[in-house]
Amino acid sequence: MANPRLRDQKPTQWGAPRQGHIIATVRGRPRGFSLAREGLFNPNNTPTWLEMGARWDIFCKVIDNLGDIGVAWRLARMLAAEHGLEVRLWVDDLAALERIWPSASAIEPVQRVSGVEVRHWRTPFPSTEPGDVVIETFQCALPESYLVRMAARSPAPRWINLDYLSAESWVSGCHKLPSPHPRLPLTKYFYFPGFDATTGGLLRERDLDEERSTFLGDRDGLACYWAQHGLAMPQDGELRVSMFCYPEAPAAELLQAWSLGTVRITALMPEGPAADRLRASLGWSAGTHAWIERGSARLRIVPFTDQSRFDRLLWACDLNFVRGEDSFVRAQWAQRPLVWNIYPQAENAHWIKLHAFLDRFTAGLGDADAQAIRQLWRAWNGIARPAELARAWEDFVARREVIARHTEHWARELVRVNELAAGLVEFCGDIGKYAVD
């Protein structure tokens, strides 16, 4: 299936291929970083564009949720911290950034946060020199005045559209595909995240596994973590669950299924529209963060948290309900069973995307185990009938040990795939190889 966004676009020549290795700037190198070990050492001492201090501009428009800014902000931080690059993030909704990273300010139009220069993307767009690399996240459409300045540069900036994550088969054929601008002497390249070596891979910090292992290996620290949520350490047979979903998800119906089951469920749900809808559907008028208790289940709505603390919630829980893109990827790195609430699209186009991932994720499982995952995910996303949710939950939780082992194996295999930020750096340094006559 071809990507309809690219159907009528024709590739053009970008320029001669660049030779040699990419050299990262030395500013901000992480502890233990080695140019030779990372394969970035240039034996000929020939200056490259990265060695001379490449500047990256990342553009992000926040639509109606936090997935876009979540991906853009994580990428910006990683490029600055792990690759020593000068990164400038242009975002149209600073309040959304502040929500996932509280040290950012919703009112400061220019600020420096965690090694990244953050700029408020406003209209009219200010006159500014474009970066050496320009990342347009999710086809957010760059300002016209900025495009004109890009075209005036020689050489032109490397221009990348970082697209949405998908497991669909057509992604491999569109990854790194060039697309000329219809009027200006510029070429944009499409860069697709994905789950195999034919795609751009997923964002993953270098020290992520070490941080997770340290967190889970510190029993006293875990006890303190749960105490912050008003909880003791999990008891035998208890299932700790995080629930981050869209308002359309059948959270009230799932809570009802939990309440009638034999497994003790303790769930934490970040505040937001989904939590508001759950409260309303239950007629819940108690305190904002009071426990909702129903039979075998109890659920607490907790304050929204930043990206780092959200990782710890995923690591600490036995099962994670996640939504969108960024939290979906983080749940996979958490190596815990997960249920994905995919972003709903018109005419249920998102169902194709959901099933494409399920086909990959359940490969290698027995039929019954794979079906248990499929049925719960389908019911959670409104594909199956609401009445099927309780049965789907029963089947899923009964097979949770097999599913947990499979999820750990899946995460270990994903580590072998390209890391997205490092792949972008490499691609931009050698972009001439992908030009087409």
pLDDT, tens digit, 9 for 90 and up, residues 266-294 = 999 999 999 999 999 998 875 567 899 99
Is 195's pLDDT higher than 90?
yes
Alpha-carbon gap, residue 371 to 377, rounded angstroms: 10
Q: What is the pLDDT of residue 286?
A: 56
Average model confidence (pLDDT) across the chain:
87
Where residue 422 falls among pLDDT bands split at 50, 70, 90? very high
pLDDT grade for 430, boundaries at 50, 70 and 90: confident
Residue 187 bridge partners (DSSP)? 180
φ/ψ of 116, rounded to 5, equals -115, 135
Is 296 in contact with 263 (CB distance < 8 Å)? yes
What is the predicted pLDDT for the residue at 54?
Answer: 85
pTM listed for this prediction: 0.86
pLDDT score, position 132: 94
325 is known as an active-site residue: yes
- Pick the catalytic residue from 325, 326, 369, 419: 325
How far the first Cα of the chain sits from its last, in Å, is 24
Q: Is pLDDT of 45 > 50? A: no
With bands split at pLDDT 50, 70 and 90, how would you rate the model's confidence at 432?
A: low
What share of the chain has pLDDT > 70, as a percent? 86
Q: What is the mean pLDDT of residues 188-197?
A: 97
**Which residue is catalytic, options 57, 68, 82, 136?**
68
Measured distance CA(214)–CA(216) in Å, rounded: 6
Please name each of the domains of the chain with its CATH number.
Answer: 4-204+417-430 (no CATH), 208-414 (3.40.50.2000)
Give pLDDT, residue 270. Answer: 95
Q: How confident is residue 6, by pLDDT bands cut at 50, 70 and 90?
A: very low
pLDDT of amino acid 36: 35
pLDDT, mean of residues 17-46: 36
Residue 143, pLDDT > 70, answer yes
Higher pLDDT, 39 or 245: 245
| pLDDT value of position 348 | 82
In the predicted structure, residue 9 carries a pLDDT above the cut 80: no
5: pLDDT strictly greater than 60? no
CA distances from 20 to 122, 188, 219, 309 (A): 39, 23, 48, 40
Q: Mean pLDDT throughout 236-255?
A: 96
414 and 332 Cβ atoms separated by less than 8 Å: yes
Mean pLDDT computed over 66-80: 94
Give the confidence band of 32 by pLDDT, cuts at 50, 70, 90.
Answer: very low
Let me know: does 422 contact 201? Beta carbons within 8 Å. Answer: no
Average pLDDT over residues 197-218: 97
Q: Does residue 8 have a pLDDT over 50?
A: no
Q: What is the dihedral of CA 27, 28, 32, 37, to 10 degrees?
A: -50
How far apart (Å, rounded) are the C-alpha atoms in residues 338 and 321? 6
Mean pLDDT of 163-189: 96
Lowest mean per-residue pLDDT among 151-160, 317-326, 428-437? 428-437
> Cα–Cα distances in Å, from 289 out to 254, 279, 299, 399?
19, 11, 10, 31
Q: What is the mean pLDDT of residues 63-83?
A: 92
